[in-house]
Amino acid sequence: EAGVAQSPRYKIIEKRQSVAFWCNPISGHATLYWYQQILGQGPKLLIQFQNNGVVDDSQLPKDRFSAERLKGVDSTLKIQPAKLEDSAVYLCASSVQRGRETQYFGPGTRLLVL
């Protein structure tokens, strides 16, 4: 079974530029999560999708971050415009929505904002 796929793996941009990350969850997983992991910290949930609907985006900085999961499968997270403090690893995870299910993570995208 293929795992969670993410691209790109690395991205370097200048502040005020825009950037987009892509995630393809494990086949059949209804729930998709985007996390932000700043160096030296644990992952922090940004947004959670159930199929193509948003369950929780309370910690997403909506003035600059946006995410979509149009067909209930893959998802895109966008930052526009980027700030220096957005430098982090962006992790995507997915789980089967059948009660309490483990989240499986992708390899992450390492973003550096200069």
Partner 1 sequence: AQKITQTQPGMFVQEKEAVTLDCTYDTSDQSYGLFWYKQPSSGEMIFLIYQGSYDEQNATEGRYSLNFQKARKSANLVISASQLGDSAMYFCAIGSPQGGSEKLVFGKGTKLTVNP
Nearest distance, CB of residue 43 and partner 1, angstroms: 5
Find the shortest distance in angstroms from Cβ 61 to partner 1: 18
Q: Is the CB of residue 40 less than 8 Å from the CB of residue 57?
A: no
Query: Site residues for partner 1, window 50-69 (CB under 8 A)?
Result: 50, 55-56
**Contact call for residue 104 and partner 1 (CB under 8 A):** yes
Q: What is the DSSP letter of 42?
A: -
CA dist 23 and 76 (Å) reads 6
Tokens describing residue 90: 């962006």
User: Contacting partner 1 (CB under 8 A), which of 2, 27, 40, 70?
Assistant: 40
Q: How far is CA 27 from each of CA 1, 3, 55, 61, rounded to the nearest angstrom?
A: 8, 8, 20, 28
User: Does 22 contact partner 1 by CB under 8 A?
Assistant: no
Q: Which residues bind partner 1 (CB under 8 A)?
A: 30-31, 33, 40-45, 48, 50, 55-56, 89, 91, 93, 95, 97-108, 110
